[in-house]
């Protein structure tokens, strides 16, 4: 079985590593010849919208998936008629557009922040009138790691947001006073079977995920899973889906979807019976899902912009290191490490791992 993947970054790399023992090979298509999945997969170097390269990919693969939501929808449409594409282009179209996501949450009765679509400055003014401040202006598509977002707390920020708008399709969102951020990593198989990992609790810095902890037994898990199941079933989804939530005094407020394996689920490599990468491949390949049960507690720290000394990371009991073999660049995710074991021990060692990661900022 060969799975074609649009995108050859670290998510594709970890999918490829998970596929090897299952006998699932990966062909990845990426515009960069340096794509970090290259060394562990067959790499096709091409823009995503080159029909000839997409045809090559289709000829080599038995099914298609993607590792990020910004692949041109037309690329998936091109492949769809030829071989199975999971998640479907329709699911991708919803999950890559913040407005469609918000409408989906509303339709399924899942609480989300008040919002308004805005394109012109007058629409922004009217939306601010209705939603109030503080608020956040976000681009509808192509935003990631906090990019394409403008907070609006005062008149100066409002002027900056008006200027940033520049005819772009955006969404104005009410500021959510959250206590913490969690995500649900969910997976649905081709036959409709669903499975859910324990919630992940996430800390961001400058819009980039810094730390994710597994939260087996979190009391909000049932509500998150109920919402996740409604979304999976409504979209007839196949593969891994991440749902990000804010935790507020009133409960969960859905923020956004990621139609793919997700950084906040990297701890599943050691902290769950079956990792999110393996389960994504099982789902898209039409195989039975593996258990998502937790194996102890886990915490994952991202290494951004630089990597710590591997010997110091691996000297921490229960630590596992994953490097992506990418050239260092400020703000670039270059690897992560997971601590894994009893909850107390993980929490005791976590400050040391965070300190090692600190040097990488
Ligand atoms: P996003 O790209 O929507 O995941 O946003 C990146 C980060 O910005 C989130 O993880 C939050 O920390 C913060 N954020 C996004 N939307 C809101 C909101 N409506 N209220 C408060 N914080 C937000």
Q: Tell me which long-range contacts 44-50 makes (C-beta under 8 A, separation of at least 24).
A: 48/6, 48/72, 48/75, 49/74, 49/75
Same domain, 25 and 163: no
Which one of 137, 152, 174 terminates a domain? 174
In a domain, 153, yes or no: yes
CATH number for the domain including 220?
3.30.470.20
pLDDT tier at 144, thresholds 50, 70, 90: low
Which one of 85, 106, 128 terminates a domain? 85
Question: Order of strands across the sheet with 25-30?
Answer: 42-45, 25-30, 2-6, 63-66
Look up the pTM and report it: 0.96
Q: What is the mean pLDDT of residues 88-108?
A: 96
Same domain, 206 and 76: no
In a domain, 258, yes or no: yes
Q: Can you give the length of the chain in residues?
A: 361
pLDDT tier at 145, thresholds 50, 70, 90: low
**If DSSP states are collapsed to H, E and C, what string results for 28-65?**
EEECCCCCCCHHHCEEEECCCCCHHHHHHHHHHCCEEE
* pLDDT value at residue 300: 98
Same domain, 210 and 155: no
Q: Ligand 1: does its nearest atom lie under 6 Å from the Cβ of 143?
A: yes
CB-CB contact of 240 with 186 (8 Å): yes
Q: Whose CA is nearest to atom 9 of ligand 1?
A: 207
Choice between 205 and 195, residue whose per-residue pLDDT is larger: 195
Q: Tell me which long-range contacts 140-146 makes (C-beta under 8 A, separation of at least 24).
A: 140/97, 140/98, 140/99, 140/169, 140/170, 140/171, 141/70, 141/96, 141/97, 141/98, 141/169, 142/70, 143/98, 144/70, 145/207, 145/208, 145/209, 145/331, 146/204, 146/206, 146/207, 146/208
The alpha carbon of residue 45 and the mean position of all alpha carbons in its chain are separated, in whole angstroms, by 23
Q: Ligand 1: does its nearest atom lie under 6 Å from the Cβ of 69?
A: no
Ligand 1 centroid to residue 1 C-alpha, Å: 38
* pLDDT value at residue 203: 97
- Rounded CA separation 4/24 (Å): 10
Ligand 1 centroid to residue 279 C-alpha, Å: 27
Same domain, 231 and 312: yes
Q: Tell me which long-range contacts 353-356 makes (C-beta under 8 A, separation of at least 24).
A: 353/299, 353/301, 353/313, 353/316, 353/319, 354/211, 354/301, 356/301, 356/308, 356/309, 356/312, 356/313
Q: State yes or no: pLDDT of 361 exceeds 70.
A: no
User: Which of 255, 256, 262, 264 has the most ligand 1 atoms within 8 A of CB, as the residue to mutate?
Assistant: 255
CATH number for the domain including 76?
3.40.50.20
Same domain, 78 and 40: yes
CB-CB contact of 62 with 3 (8 Å): yes
Same domain, 135 and 61: no
In a domain, 105, yes or no: no
Same domain, 209 and 289: yes
In a domain, 306, yes or no: yes
Cα of first residue to Cα of last residue in the chain, in angstroms, is: 39
The helix/strand/coil state of 347 is helix
User: Which of 95, 128, 146 has the most ligand 1 atoms within 8 A of CB, as the residue to mutate?
Assistant: 146
Which one of 123, 157, 174 terminates a domain? 174
Q: Ligand 1: does its nearest atom lie under 6 Å from the Cβ of 146?
A: yes
- What phi and psi, each to the nearest 5 degrees, are found at residue 112? -145, 165
In a domain, 16, yes or no: yes
- Rounded CA separation 69/259 (Å): 7
Q: What angle do CA 115, 165, 152 make, to 5 degrees?
A: 55
Ligand 1 closest atom vs CA 145? 2
pLDDT tier at 146, thresholds 50, 70, 90: low
Ligand 1 centroid to residue 244 C-alpha, Å: 9
The per-residue pLDDT for range 36-60, each reduced to its tens digit, is 999 999 999 999 999 999 999 999 9
Q: Ligand 1: does its nearest atom lie under 6 Å from the Cβ of 175?
A: yes
In a domain, 256, yes or no: yes
* pLDDT value at residue 110: 98
Same domain, 276 and 351: yes
The helix/strand/coil state of 133 is coil
Ligand 1 centroid to residue 206 C-alpha, Å: 10
CB-CB contact of 341 with 296 (8 Å): yes
CB-CB contact of 2 with 24 (8 Å): yes
The per-residue pLDDT for range 277-332, each reduced to its tens digit, is 999 999 999 999 999 999 999 999 999 999 999 999 999 999 999 999 999 999 89
Contacts of 126 by beta carbon, 8 Å cutoff, 6+ apart: 116
CATH number for the domain including 147?
3.30.1490.20
In a domain, 247, yes or no: yes
Same domain, 75 and 212: no
Strand partners, 3: 26, 63
Q: Ligand 1: does its nearest atom lie under 6 Å from the Cβ of 204?
A: yes
In a domain, 90, yes or no: no
Ligand 1 centroid to residue 103 C-alpha, Å: 17
Pairing of strands 63-66, 2-6: parallel
Q: 21: domain range?
A: 2-85
Same domain, 220 and 305: yes
Q: Ligand 1: does its nearest atom lie under 6 Å from the Cβ of 18?
A: no
Total domains in the chain come to 3
Ligand 1 centroid to residue 45 C-alpha, Å: 33
In order of 3, 96, 180, 243, 253, the CA distances from 102 in angstroms are 31, 11, 20, 12, 11
Same domain, 196 and 341: yes
Same domain, 313 and 355: yes
Ligand 1 centroid to residue 178 C-alpha, Å: 10
Q: State yes or no: pLDDT of 202 exceeds 90.
A: yes
From the list 239, 127, 121, 151, the residue with the least C-alpha distance to 190 is 239
Q: What angle do CA 262, 267, 271 make, to 5 degrees?
A: 135
């Amino acid at each position: 079985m060969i799975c074609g993947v649009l995108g050859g970054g670290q998510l594709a790399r970890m999918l490829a590593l998970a596929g090897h023992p299952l006998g699932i090979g990966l062909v990845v298509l990426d515009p960069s010849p340096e794509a970090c999945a290259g060394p562990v997969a067959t790499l096709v170097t091409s823009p995503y919208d080159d029909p000839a390269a997409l045809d090559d990919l289709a000829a080599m693969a038995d099914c298609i998936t993607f590792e990020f939501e910004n692949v041109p929808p037309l690329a998936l449409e091109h492949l769809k008629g030829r071989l199975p594409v999971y998640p479907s282009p329709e699911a991708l179209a919803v999950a890559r557009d913040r407005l469609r996501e918000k409408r989906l949450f509303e339709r399924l009765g899942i609480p989300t922040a008040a919002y308004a679509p805005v394109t012109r400055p007058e629409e922004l003014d009217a939306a601010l009138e209705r939603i109030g401040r503080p608020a956040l202006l976000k681009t509808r598509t192509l935003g990631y790691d906090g990019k394409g977002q403008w907070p609006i707390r005062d008149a100066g920020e409002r002027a900056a947001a008006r200027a940033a708008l520049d005819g772009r399709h955006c969404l104005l969102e009410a500021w959510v006073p959250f206590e913490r951020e969690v995500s649900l990593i969910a997976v649905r198989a081709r036959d409709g079977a669903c499975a859910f990992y324990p919630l992940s609790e996430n800390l961001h810095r400058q819009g980039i995920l810094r730390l994710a902890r597994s939260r087996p037994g979190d009391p909000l898990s049932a509500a998150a899973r109920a919402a996740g199941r409604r979304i999976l079933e409504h979209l007839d989804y196949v593969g891994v889906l991440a749902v990000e939530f804010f935790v507020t005094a009133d409960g969960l407020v859905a923020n956004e979807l990621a139609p793919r394996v997700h950084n906040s689920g990297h701890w599943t490599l050691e902290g769950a019976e079956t990792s999110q990468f393996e389960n994504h491949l099982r789902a898209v390949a039409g195989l039975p899902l593996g258990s998502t049960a937790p194996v102890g507690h886990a915490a994952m720290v991202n290494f951004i912009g630089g990597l710590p000394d591997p010997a110091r990371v691996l000297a921490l009991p229960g630590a596992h290191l994953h490097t992506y073999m990418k050239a260092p660049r400020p703000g670039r995710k270059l690897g992560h490490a997971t601590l894994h074991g009893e909850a107390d021990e993980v929490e005791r060692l976590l400050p040391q791992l965070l300190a090692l990661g600190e040097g990488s900022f």
